[in-house]
Structure 1
Amino acid sequence: MPGKLLKKILEEFKQSDEESLSVIDQGINNILEIPEILSLKRLTRLTLSHNKLTILPAQIAELINLEQLNLSNNQIEELPTAISSFQNLKILKLCFNKISVLPRGFGAFPVLEILDLTSNNLNEKSLSNNFFELKTLRALYLGDNFFEYLPNEIGNLINLQILVLRTNELVEIPNEIDNLKNLKELHLQSNRLQLLPPKIAKLDLLGPKSILKLENNFWIEGISNALEIGLSHLVDYLQSESYERLYEKEKSIVQKSQVPPKSERYKRIYKK
């Protein structure tokens, strides 16, 4: 049952012309306990962060005008298929939950621009079949998850400007990343990477407003030495013929036998 403060928040909202509602840190376990929220059709922005939600009901899709939905810092383990039926949703924040798989059809959002899935239990097998059809995405946050490989289809997200993959288990970046011509921020720090595809040097990640983060990986000597000098030197190295030959040779070796060990964080979650 909603507490006094929550009742007050809802009552004040009903009496206003606001289209934005924030219900933060109110100990909510289930949205269905507060059916009033689901009746607020005029809502365009809804924040339910820092609560105790473990599941998201399909009825959330009844809020047909939502443009922003923030469900961060809950305990959500499962999302309904209906979540992808939002036609106007531009920002979806699901960070700091316990999601291990995305529902079928998750990539159907027609205008989604920002998707934050930071700090969940996701890996490459967690993604829906149509995930990479989210071509309107400008920012994708997948940091603090458990991805070992990034699907080649990442290259389909042609409007991406920000891609965050820090603190995963990545051992390889696909060549298709060079399709992301609009990318201005790429965060790859704290993974198990040893090599970078030569084509990544084609991306404009060295401008004054660009960010490229590569710290705390297992880089081969050539990349490590280039990074010590600077990112511009790294780009020159990646574009060299000698590195391209080395990349093709080392890639097969790394894939077969010389993958760095999984992190302790991974072992704690998966008991491996």
Structure 2
Amino acid sequence: MKLPIYQVDAFTTEMFGGNPAAVCPLQQWLPDDLMQQLGAENNLAETTFIVKEGDQYRIRWFTPAVEVKLCGHATLATAHIFYTELGYDKDEIVFNSLSGLLKVKRKGEGVYTLDFPADKLHAVTDIPDVIFEGLNIGPVPVFKSSMDYLLVLHTRQEVEALTPDFKTLSTLDARGVIVTAKADGDEADFVSRCFFPPSGIDEDPVTGSAHTSMVPYWAAQLNKTALKAIQVSGRRGYLDCELKGDRVLMSGSAVTYMKGEYYLPG
């Protein structure tokens, strides 16, 4: 059996930037263990599977190790493939997911806006020791979202200088750790890096889902709802964000890297 597969660099306008994701449109679901094997075989932060359900689509995301509840960059990559490869011609796509309804609008030529539910943060006082040990830093404010721990550092330079111990972080009982700081110039309002060893990803290059908690945080800190963000990983990712009630809007571009077929028995 042959099935189509695409690979897309998301949240970038240039190939080899942003975050790569595999996109696999299906007519019907494959067994869960097979989709997980394909996620491991692709060895990307996420492999996305989509099946049409009525007027909407069901979307699922697999890292090399686990299925996750929400993924922004792979949803952006999927929308890009819908418009550039699959002949989709409506202005908005609606996906059903483990995190509820997700929407993607085509904003302009090659630009897409994700409409995701905002995540809530609460301050953490009983902080797992492995967080500071794994990041090799001293105490800083720590918050918890529905999926991740979030740490707020003082400067962009501190975020960029981090050299985590991924083995130590892998023992954390969460999807992973987000580290963020206020930006120091006009290029962005805040920066971040995301480390997800418990989910089989040491550092995720650009993480849309992490911004569903960072955008509400920085909107409150900076007293503004429209924000520019940079994920300062080696590949870099750029997001235009907006807090709109209980939703977070994230806009970015994507570039198709590869398309082909994968072969399955039967």
TM-score, normalised with respect to structure 2: 0.26
Q: Which has the higher contact order (CA 8 A, sep 6+)?
A: 2
**Comparing both structures, which one devotes a greater share of its residues to strand?**
2
Larger Rg: 1
